[in-house]
Amino acid sequence: MVRGKLTFISGGARSGKSTYAEKILVEEAKQNSGRLVYIASGSKTDSEMMERIEKHRLDRSKFNWTTIEQPVNLEEILPHIRRGDLVLWDCVTTWLANELYLAAECIEQTEVQLYKTIEEVRALASHFVIVSNEVLDEPPSVYSEVRTYSEALGRIHTELVKNSTTAIEMDYGLATFWKGEDGL
């Protein structure tokens, strides 16, 4: 079975991750066609998130993205993914926080389902770009919930990089390629 490309993009808050991820897939859509699909994990929890969601929607409206709002249970996107799609998932950190809020005791099962879902998306999509925040540079937290989150995120990031075609870290709007292609 031919799997689609997997690009993993991480970086700090407001580092340009989402913009860069969108640019990768928009350029690919211009060259090869393919439906642009945006999986959004954010929820309208406060006024700042509402503003960010609206800004992202406005940015994507120029390129006719199909948006799937999926804050938990990522596997529920599968019926909406078509062969040849160009899929962007933004973002792992928000999704993981949402999942842990609902069922922290089942994190191992959640991770297993996540990896299975990613492989199923790759079996259909020609390119799957996954965005995540880099929050692991801080010292370990004294709070067990934060440690559980950080440990799970570290495992997920490691697995994503291991299985990716390309791994990129964004800083100040600049991309550093740690694995794969050297540019768009």
pLDDT tens digit string along 142-156?
Answer: 888 888 889 999 999
- The more confidently predicted of residues 52 and 1 is 52
Residue 183: pLDDT over 50:
no
- pLDDT band at residue 60 under the 50/70/90 scheme: low
The pLDDT, as a whole number, for residue 114 is: 96
> Can you state the percent helix, strand and coil of the chain, rounding each to 5?
50, 20, 30
| Residue 47: pLDDT over 80 | no
Residue type for 64, please?
N
In our burial notation (b when 16+ CB lie closer than 10 A, e otherwise), range 25-63 reads bbebbeeeebbbbbbbbbeeeeeeeeeebeebeeebeee
Q: Rounded mean pLDDT of 20-34?
A: 92
Average pLDDT over residues 92-118: 89
Domains of the chain: 5-177 (3.40.50.300)
Please tell me whether residue 8 adopts helix, strand or coil conformation.
Answer: strand
- Greatest mean pLDDT among 25-34, 60-69, 103-112, 113-122 lies in 113-122
Residue 50 has pLDDT above 80, yes or no: no
Which pLDDT band holds residue 1 (cuts at 50, 70, 90)? low
**What pLDDT band is residue 13 in, cutting at 50, 70 and 90?**
confident
pLDDT, averaged across the chain: 88
| pLDDT for 104 | 60
pLDDT at 178 over 90: yes
Encoding tokens for residue 1?
Answer: 């079975």
Tokens of 64: 């006719």
pTM of the complete model? 0.89
Res 78: pLDDT: 97
